[in-house]
Structure 1
Amino acid sequence: MDGEIEPDRLEAKLDSDDEPLVVDIRNPEQFRRGHIPDSVNLPLAELTLGVEDVAAADHVVTVCPHGQASIKAARLISAYEGFDGRVDSLRGGLTAWEGPLERDAEPAGADEGPDAPF
């Protein structure tokens, strides 16, 4: 793991040519409720099986609700033998994120839960 990235810095990078791959490690239901646009969902429990899917990225930013589990995920990705890019964790997680969130459409008749992204 290389470090933590501040939410405003990540937002600026997402609007540049140097866009990192954002890996949201929450479960799929939490991800559908709200996630950073263009991020991919790779739950922490499945990360060891899916890490090769992100190995080609030059820069990965891991995201979780509060920025704690994403540190663990960033360390796991950086330890992967086939990965040689930069890995950061979003400092403060989605609670610190003030940028846009994308929500996936709920299936018809889905029970509406809290409007929180996590």
Structure 2
Amino acid sequence: MVDEISPAAVEELLDGEDPPLVVDVSTEAEFALGHVPGSINVPLSDLVSHLDRIASAERIVTVCPRGEASVQAVRLLSAYEGTENARIESMAGGLDAWAGPLEEGIDEGGRGDGRR
């Protein structure tokens, strides 16, 4: 079973002192249309080759448009031996359930451009 976290809880964590690493596993085009502020884009198909970007995080929340691919991402990340000490959760319902602000665009580091 995969741990899920509500979008409201994610928004609360992002406003806290120690925010999680939010990994959006959408395609680059989907990510550019709108994503959780501060999240990084690592499409699900590229996740294995980018584990080094993610493995050092203590808490990881995966996100996708509807909450399905992010569940797969949690399973994959949980199986990686570099993340055994991390808390890894999927945002329930994906971006469809997110009521918070969205950023648009993407920069070279795979992060949003800061617009809301």
Normalization by structure 2: what TM-score? 0.86
Deviation readout 1:4-28 (Å, 9 max, x if unpaired): 0001000000000120000000111
* Equivalent residue number for residue 25 of structure 2: 25
- 1:113 maps to which residue? none
Q: CA deviation at 1:41?
A: 0.2
Extract unaligned runs of 5+ from structure 1.
106-118
CA–CA distance in structure 2, aligned partners of residues 41 and 35 of structure 1: 9
Cα distance in 1 between the residues matched to 2:90 and 2:13: 14
In 2, the alpha carbon distance for the partners of 1:87 and 1:52 equals 15
Q: Distance in 2 between matches of 1:7 and 1:52?
A: 26
TM-score between the two structures when normalised by the length of structure 1? 0.85
Aligned length: 105
User: For the pair shown, which has the larger CA radius of gyration, 1 or 2?
Assistant: 1
- Contact kept, 8 Å, 2:2 with 2:71, in 1: the verdict is no
Structure 1 partner of 2:56: 56
Separation in 1, partners of 2:2, 2:76: 12
- Over 2 Å off, 4+ runs: none
Matching residue's letter, 2:9:
R
RMSD: 1.3
